[in-house]
């Protein structure tokens, strides 16, 4: 089980693959598998069968997980992809941007 530097609600950019360059918000982080689900990235089609009467079936598009190593934080202040540096102030650990020093 690896520790992820990416957390839920972080803004990220995809570094490689068919969705390279796309930006989105992290909807879910899965540290056990080392994957994240990013809004609007890695869309897959799922065929859903109606289970009850009146329930619609059909083809549903949804986001699939991608490896966390394929995404990078986007700084909210300078709007650049950046690795997170950690700063300790008064016993509290905070993630900061390597470019501008703003808290992520």
- pLDDT at position 75 is 93
Task: Round to whole Å and give the CA distance between 88 and 84.
Answer: 13
Residue 16 counted as domain residue: yes
Which residues sit opposite 94 in a β-bridge?
87
Residue 94 counted as domain residue: no
Please report which confidence band the pLDDT of residue 25 belongs to, taking 50, 70 and 90 as the band edges: very high
Spell 57-69 as b/e; 16+ CB within 10 A means b. Answer: eeeeeebebbebe
Domain harbouring 67, CATH code: 2.30.30.30
Per-residue pLDDT tens over the stretch 4-13: 889 999 999 9
22 or 104: which leads in pLDDT: 22
Query: Residue 54 belongs to what domain range?
Result: 11-74
Cβ neighbours for 34, distance < 8 A, ≥ 6 positions apart: 2, 4, 67, 68, 69
Which residues sit opposite 13 in a β-bridge?
23, 72
Residue 34 counted as domain residue: yes
Residue 84 counted as domain residue: no
Name the residue among 82, 87, 90 with its Cα closest to residue 99: 82
Residue 28 counted as domain residue: yes
Number of independent structural domains in the chain: 1
Residue 44 counted as domain residue: yes
Per-residue pLDDT tens over the stretch 57-69: 999 999 999 999 9
Name the residue among 32, 25, 33, 22 with its Cα closest to residue 7: 25
Q: What number is the average pLDDT over the span 75-101?
A: 90
């Amino acid at each position: 089980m690896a520790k992820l530097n990416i957390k839920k609600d972080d803004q990220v950019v995809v570094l490689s693959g068919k969705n390279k360059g796309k930006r989105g918000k992290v909807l879910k982080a899965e540290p056990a598998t080392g994957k994240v689900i990013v809004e609007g990235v890695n869309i897959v089609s799922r065929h859903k069968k109606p289970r009850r009467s009146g329930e619609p079936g059909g083809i549903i598009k949804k986001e699939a997980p991608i490896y966390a190593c394929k995404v990078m934080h986007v700084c909210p202040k300078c709007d650049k992809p950046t690795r997170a540096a950690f700063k300790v102030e008064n016993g509290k650990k905070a993630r900061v941007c390597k470019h501008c020093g703003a808290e992520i």
